[in-house]
């Protein structure tokens, strides 16, 4: 199924509800359906910065496709990242980079999130696209895993992690 068909399906699922409390409950249910991430990936290296809650996102590269696994300590955020995984996981880097995630606005998600959660949503999308750009640019799985926090042009360089001393 194409990215757009998956997005259209999500829009249909959310259009059944008029009340945002019902839509939040759907998000919560979707979060419960998210497969459990291996605890070895719930480390700082896979933590998405810019989210109000803790969100871990791990890319797995298989052939020319990227598969994502994620978890969050907040149930609504878990549902949000679950939606993003549903749309973008199992795609080529080119598909992920080019994806217009129109479902976010069509279901009213961005408008009904707090500003900090909305920023977190953007951070999740950004990180998924960064993984795709890094893999496309290098074609090297290990290099992407080693350097996955490369900033976008014009952004500050990431902090060094795991370096001790001076």
Burial 34-46 (b: 16+ CB within 10 A, else e): beebeeebeeeeb
Distance between CA atoms of residues 107 and 163, nearest Å: 43
Strands (E), 37-123: 55-62, 65-72
Catalytic one of 27, 51, 83, 113: 51
Q: Does the annotation count 51 as an active-site position?
A: yes
The CA angle 6-132-78, to the nearest 5 degrees, is: 55
Catalytic residue ranges: 51
């Amino acid at each position: 199924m194409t990215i757009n068909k998956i997005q259209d399906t999500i829009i249909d699922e959310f259009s059944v509800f008029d009340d945002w409390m019902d839509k939040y409950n759907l998000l919560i249910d979707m979060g419960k359906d998210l497969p459990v991430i291996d605890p070895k990936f719930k480390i700082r290296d896979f933590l998405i910065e810019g989210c109000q809650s803790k969100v871990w996102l791990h890319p797995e590269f298989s052939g020319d496709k990227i598969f994502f696994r994620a978890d969050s300590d907040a149930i609504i955020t878990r549902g949000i990242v679950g939606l993003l995984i549903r749309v973008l996981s199992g795609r080529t880097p080119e598909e992920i980079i080019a994806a217009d995630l129109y479902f976010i606005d069509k279901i009213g998600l961005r408008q009904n999130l707090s500003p900090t959660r909305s920023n977190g949503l953007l951070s999740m999308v950004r990180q998924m696209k960064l993984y795709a750009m890094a893999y496309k640019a290098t074609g090297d799985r290990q290099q992407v895993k080693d350097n996955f926090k490369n900033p976008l042009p014009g952004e500050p360089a990431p902090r060094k992690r795991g370096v001790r001393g001076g």
